[in-house]
Amino acid sequence: MSIPFGGYASPEQIMRDRAEYARKGIARGRSVVVMQYADGILFVAPNPSKALHKISEIYDRIGFAAVGRYNEFESLRLAGIRYADINGYTFNRNDVTGRGLANLYAQHLGMIFTESIKSFEVEIVVAEVGDAPEDDQIYRITFDGSVFDEQGMAVIGGQAEAVGGRLKERYSDGLPLPQALDAALTALTEPGGERPPATQIEVAVLDRGREHRKFLRLTGPRLEKLLEAAKEGREGGQQPAAEQAPTEQTGAEQTGAEQAPDTAPPIAPDGDIDTGSGE
Mean of the per-residue pLDDT values of the chain: 85
List 57's β-bridge partners, or say none.
63
Quick: pLDDT tens for 76-131. Answer: 999 999 999 999 999 999 999 999 999 999 999 999 999 998 999 999 999 999 99
Question: What is the reported pLDDT for 237?
Answer: 62
Q: What is the pTM of this model?
A: 0.81
Q: Is 242 helix (H, G, I), strand (E, B) or coil?
A: coil
Quick: pLDDT tens for 198-215. Answer: 999 999 999 999 998 999
What's the rounded Cα separation, in Å, for the pair 29 and 166?
18
- Work out the average pLDDT over 37-46: 97
CA 85 to chain centre: 19
Q: What is the DSSP letter of 200?
A: G
Quick: pLDDT tens for 23-40. Answer: 999 999 899 999 999 999
Q: What interhelical angle do 70-90 and 98-115 show, nearest 10?
A: 130
Q: Is 209 helix (H, G, I), strand (E, B) or coil?
A: coil
Question: What is the reported pLDDT for 6?
Answer: 53
Over 90: is that where the pLDDT of 64 sits?
Answer: yes
Question: What is the reported pLDDT for 244?
Answer: 42
- Work out the average pLDDT over 178-198: 93
Consecutive H or E run containing 89 = helix 70-90
Over 90: is that where the pLDDT of 262 sits?
Answer: no
